[in-house]
Structure 1
């Protein structure tokens, strides 16, 4: 089972699903205890464990991720690392070093996260190791742990996190296999269930809130601050609802493109105040590290607005809108955490699909651990056969120089074939038995005993290195939507993600 961590275990989702304890019990019942544990660790926080203030404090921008990853793998207890940073989560997935236990690696990660985000975030951290970490990773990839259950963006965000780790050279064989399988599970869930049916994303929820505020959006002006992927999704939905759209973005080219796409009007960044005077609803989704709409700014333009109500929906992290604007008369601010109430109401229709998705995750975790145990047994089998081959080859070479030096080349070749056939027959039974023990706790003992009896440690290490080198890299050139991933602009919330 997972080692104890110096923090809370990951909480169960509010979606209909098994609890952590029942998941672990089901896994234990199905595959048994004692086989070689996974060395995967996850430490972080999400919308389920931390308020938006804490998530904002720990948020890591895309340009800062490489340096953070390098700091993580510099830890003596950590061998590999991938960092997933979105609006709703910052999670570090790691593989423990061969000489460190998972709990020690988790503690080291916790200290580093404290350095990055400050000690205030520590009490909101959650974590898991081994099997529990795999369950959590697969659930994240399947969008079962997202703010909006079933949203598609998380797969692209996870791929991007892997791409950054690959470019930084902080991901190795252990996490590559885990991430590849997690992405596979995410795609399987979307293919085999209807969990993603309809409009399921933070922008769609923001638009639902706008519709709730104004029963009919026709005749009302919505200002989009930012023109990235999230803004585009919201703009298309708002255009269908008949809203009049204004787009303000630091890149006038991008704001012009988006305005043209949805039949709206683009304004230069310098005219943000004028656009705020005109707007009834504002949806902010930039990737700015600082507030782009402030308290004093809105206070100055209130008179020009003639005390008309202004509704601001901030789906960015770090937040685009200064929180205290909510104190102003006739100004109403909603952030990502406020959207969770709307999400809870919309979950009912997808509850059955969420349960089906959970079943897929559970089944795939079992399959993953079985495959990994079998793969870990291969180097032992290869090493045992290689030791046998080297001993026989050495003895044959010595004999052919001594008592058997009279043998012809044909006779020597025949003798080599005979020894090879004898070795294969001799090792066939042990090989099959080892494969059968791969998913059994006795397999770990068998590996250790064979290594000691036949001095296989170096050969096992060599075979493991060859196997790791043969692992293909994860394909990350395309995002979940099939669009080639590129560098986000300053106002593109793709960098931080607005769902997962």
Structure 2
């Protein structure tokens, strides 16, 4: 069996294509169930966000697995396969597993190291698991990826540094004022950057926000999203009397705050500290404002310097996470290899216990006067002999699964104990009539060894 990842992301796919292939949250459960009915698809998880749509599957064959995922996409979105095939990125087995670890850790995001994707992966996995379209392989893989991402963020602090100007502005304010919860913040402008600033301010615990804009309706629309106050630019002097922090991002072509205006406001404020972040281009605040006592002015170049330093720190952390992913890949591969011997171990145990049961029947026929207690003692001790005898062979077969010659060694082991037919029978029981293996029933089969076990 094989793990395959098929998807679109922001790096290679235009926005209009990504939008066309976005699964709605309301129908995601229906989508994973429909995908599970496709031939060759044994398990699946669909991750769909504004920046990516990625489908992860466990398939019995690479070629058919790739084809039926693409056919599913074509049918679900009613788009001919040839119209979107050039945008698809496909990864298989180790490459697909590594990509999942990177996505979940934020290493493949537009904002390096962001944590939102971790929650999105977790939610997607939970949908698939609740719809029973995952099995042992994805239950283990996705749990490992989610746990790993949490540990990587904690150990490296990759998400601790601001890498957007609006976020950097808020972080800078926190460094100067400490706790922002009691501060009054005025946002000049009602565009995208202003909205991002408002989000980051609320995340920092700010309750008092006033949105100021030339258009009162635009100011009110943005303020309504955050439970803030709204006012027009004509009242800016009055608003700033009660303001501790100003974040300005308008589309004005001339300065909104001049030195004379801010000096007059500071007289009314009795010189209380005023922190101004101007992230507009052209600038909203005259550069000479920074010469006023107790006025701290930062422009977009100041913030970009902070962002660049923080991005360098995130990239260094990402390098560390890459190394951790390599270790995690080794652990997962070892786990997969160990899975391959489970049907072998099961067959060995079943054969040994059958011999023990037949022996007990023979003893009871030859010694019909045994009491119930004596039978119980004999049964317990003969099973104990079986378990002790099997302990070392089971240990050895697990080690064989991790060796370079595991296929030949495993075949020799099955022949040695004459259990090859028993393993075949176990695999056959776990197969559907059409040759697919049910998600709930292929729990004990490792995809690297499946072809070997079923071809002998």
Q: TM-score, normalised by structure 2?
A: 0.63
Q: 1:150 to 1:257 in 2, by over 3 A?
A: same
Deviations, residues 242-281 of structure 1 (Å, cap 9, x unaligned): 98367999xx9x9746133xx5579xxxxxxxxxxxx946
Q: 1:222 aligns with which of 185, 190, 200?
A: 190
SS at match of 2:159: coil
Partner of 1:165: 128
Tell me if structure 1 keeps the 8 A contact 2:170–2:197. no
Q: Which residue of 2 aligns with 1:364?
A: 328
Higher radius of gyration, 1 or 2: 2
Q: Is the 8 A contact 2:210 2:230 kept in 1?
A: no
2:316 corresponds to 1:352: yes
Would you say the 8 A contact 1:114–1:122 is kept in 2? no
CA-CA distance at 1:163 after TM superposition: 2.4
Displacement of 1:101 after TM fit? 1.1
Q: Report if the CA contact (8 A) 1:226-1:248 is conserved.
A: no
Question: Partner of 1:339 in structure 2?
Answer: none
The offset of 1:436, in angstroms, is: 1.2
Question: Equivalents in 2 of 1:203, 1:444: separation in Å?
Answer: 56
Q: TM-score, normalised by structure 1?
A: 0.58
Alignment equivalent of 1:382, drawn from 327, 346, 352? 346
Q: What are the superposed Cα offsets for residues 158-183 of structure 1, whole Å, 9 maximum, x if unpaired?
A: 11112222343322322111110110
| Counterpart-to-counterpart distance in 1, 2:63 and 2:116 | 31
Residue of structure 2 equivalent to 1:392: 356
Question: Where does structure 1 lack aligned partners over 5 or more consecutive residues?
Answer: 1-37, 209-216, 267-278, 283-309, 312-341, 470-500
The 5 A counterparts of 1:231-380 are: 232-233=199-200, 244=211, 256=224, 258-260=226-228, 263-264=229-230, 280=250, 347-380=311-344
CA distance in 2, matches of 1:437, 1:136: 28
- How far residue 190 of structure 1 moved from its aligned partner, in angstroms, is 0.4
Q: Whole-Å Cα distance in 2 between the matches of residues 398 and 226 of structure 1?
A: 85
Match of 2:423 among 456, 481, 494: 456
Task: Report the alpha carbon displacement of residue 40 of structure 1 after superposing the two structures with TM.
Answer: 2.0
Aligned equivalent of 1:110, options 59, 66, 70: 70
Q: Residue by residue, what CA displacement relative to the aligned partner does 1:229-248 show, whole Å, maximum 9, x if unpaired?
A: 997347768x89x9836799
Output one character per residue of 1:385-426: Cα deviation in whole Å (capped at 9) or x when no partner: 12211222123213422x333555565455434533432343
Tell me, in whole angstroms, the C-alpha distance in 2 between the residues paired with 1:158 and 1:82. 9
Aligned equivalents of 1:129, 1:219: Cα separation in 2: 48
**Secondary structure at 2:39's aligned position in 1?**
coil
- Count residues with an aligned counterpart: 345
- Which structure's relative contact order is higher, taking Cα pairs within 8 Å and 6+ residues apart? 1
RMSD: 4.3
Displacement of 1:460 after TM fit? 6.7
Residue number in structure 1 paired with 2:8: 45
Rounded to whole Å, the distance in 2 between the matches of 1:234 and 1:74 is: 46
Query: Taking structure 1 as reference, are residues 388 and 46 closer, same or farther at Cα in structure 2, changes over 3 Å only?
Result: same
- 1:437 CA displacement: 1.4
Equivalent pair of 1:155/1:183 in contact (CA under 8 Å): yes
Retained in 2: the 8 A contact 1:41–1:95?
yes
